């Protein structure tokens, strides 16, 4: 039997969206098969969404199953895609997204972007989580100088000027904003992602200043086990860490992953918001086992 999906992306971070009412006996196995870019539809994860229209604004319960078959507690771009999906169904311009990391409000902006609250980022080692007595700011872990922050999920944030020479693929000017393109992320990130310091693993995000108070971004994602074109929690992590380390005082902070442009803002309580475009790509169907086949 088959179940319908809609394919969405937020600045290149792409997801199959399946209504949570659909019968999918093994969500992990489906994600492993259909997120594969060679043999499946290809995506950075499957979002299972339950829409509760009796509330005002409508609520969406979001579960992200990643290509490795495991769930993630939060996904910034996934939540923005979930918001667009729910807004199209309900006609609402505001929705609430229930995630394992909290309930987040999302709004459509005048520019037709989706902006979402991202909660309060934390450096507390117990909440990141990282095995350390104090918050980790610019400390070497597995060969990389990282700052550890949780923006819904853990990120090890490193700035390009701290990346050791041997992780650049060619001779480049370290002050160039293009230096980030030459970092060998597929080599430098996995030891950090699986580092003993991180009981739940971590995403690895690198940043380089764009010269205007913003940053370019690249992220190696836990669960995808590779680099993605965009990562919303990673964009927020860069903005939070850069402000904390005095690398920018911009607000909003422009963050540009390979797949597009995001904006991170802060309110007076230190809560972050994430804004950027979301696009519906296409619809389709995926095969799942029917109850009789089990």
Ligand X SMILES: N[C@@H](CCC[C@H](N)C(=O)O)C(=O)O
Which of 109, 150, 113, 111 has its CA nearest to residue 130? Answer: 150
Binding-residue pattern over the window 202 to 221 for ligand X, x denoting contact by CB under 6 A? -x-----------------x
**For helices 232-244 and 76-90, angle between their N-to-C axes, nearest 10 degrees:** 130
Pinpoint the alpha helices (H) of the chain. 27-34, 76-90, 185-193, 232-244
Task: Name the residue nearer to ligand X (CB basis): 278 or 286.
Answer: 278
Q: How far is the CB of 13 from ligand X (least distance, A)?
A: 5
Q: How far is the CB of 48 from ligand X (least distance, A)?
A: 14
Binding-residue pattern over the window 184 to 203 for ligand X, x denoting contact by CB under 6 A? -------------------x
Please, are residues 142 and 195 in contact by the beta-carbon 8 Å criterion? yes
Count of residues near ligand X by CB under 6 A = 17
Binding residue for ligand X, selected from 16, 51, 72, 144, defined by CB under 6 A = 72
Q: Which residues have CB under 8 Å from 105's CB, separation 6+?
A: 57, 94, 95, 96, 97, 116, 117
Largest CA distance in the chain: 61
CA distance linking residue 118 with residue 122, whole number of Å: 11
Q: Does 153 bind ligand X (CB under 6 A)?
A: yes
Which of 80, 35, 78, 71 has its CA nearest to residue 226? Answer: 35
Query: Nearest-5° angle of CA 179, CA 185, CA 186?
Result: 150
Active site residue 75: yes
Q: Does 240 bind ligand X (CB under 6 A)?
A: no
Task: Name the residue nearer to ligand X (CB basis): 77 or 256.
Answer: 77
Binding residue for ligand X, selected from 6, 77, 208, 273, defined by CB under 6 A = 77
Find the catalytic residue in 49, 75, 189, 278: 75
Task: Name the residue nearer to ligand X (CB basis): 12 or 289.
Answer: 12
Binding residue for ligand X, selected from 13, 208, 217, 273, defined by CB under 6 A = 13
Q: Which residues bind ligand X (CB under 6 A)?
A: 13, 66, 72, 75-78, 153, 203, 221-224, 228, 231-233
Residues designated as active site: 75, 231
């Amino acid at each position: 039997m088959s179940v319908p999906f809609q394919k969405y992306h937020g600045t290149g971070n792409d997801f199959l969206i399946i209504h949570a009412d659909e019968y999918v006996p093994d969500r992990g196995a489906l994600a492993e098969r259909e997120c594969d870019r060679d043999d499946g539809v290809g995506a950075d994860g499957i979002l299972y969404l339950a829409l509760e229209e009796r509330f005002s604004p409508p609520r969406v319960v979001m579960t992200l199953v990643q290509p490795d078959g495991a769930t993630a507690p939060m996904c910034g771009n996934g939540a923005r895609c979930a918001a667009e999906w729910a807004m199209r169904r309900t006609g609402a311009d505001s929705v609430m997204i229930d995630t394992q990391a909290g309930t987040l409000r999302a709004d459509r902006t005048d520019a037709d972007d989706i902006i979402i609250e991202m909660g309060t980022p934390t450096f507390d080692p117990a909440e990141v989580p990282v095995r350390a007595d104090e918050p980790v700011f610019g400390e070497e872990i597995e060969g990389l100088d990282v700052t550890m922050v949780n923006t819904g999920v853990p990120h090890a944030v490193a700035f390009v000027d701290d990346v050791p020479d041997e992780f650049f693929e060619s001779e480049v000017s370290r002050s160039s904003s293009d230096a980030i393109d030459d970092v060998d992320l597929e080599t430098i990130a996995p030891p950090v992602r699986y580092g003993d310091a991180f009981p739940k693993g971590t995403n690895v995000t690198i940043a380089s200043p764009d010269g205007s108070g913003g940053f370019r971004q690249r992220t190696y994602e836990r669960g995808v086990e590779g680099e993605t074109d965009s990562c919303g929690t990673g964009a927020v992590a860069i903005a939070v860490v850069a402000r904390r380390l005095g690398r920018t005082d911009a607000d909003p902070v422009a963050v540009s992953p390979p797949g597009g442009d995001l904006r991170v803002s802060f309110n007076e309580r230190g809560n972050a918001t994430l804004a950027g475009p979301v696009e519906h790509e296409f619809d389709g169907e995926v095969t799942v086992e029917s109850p009789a086949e089990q």
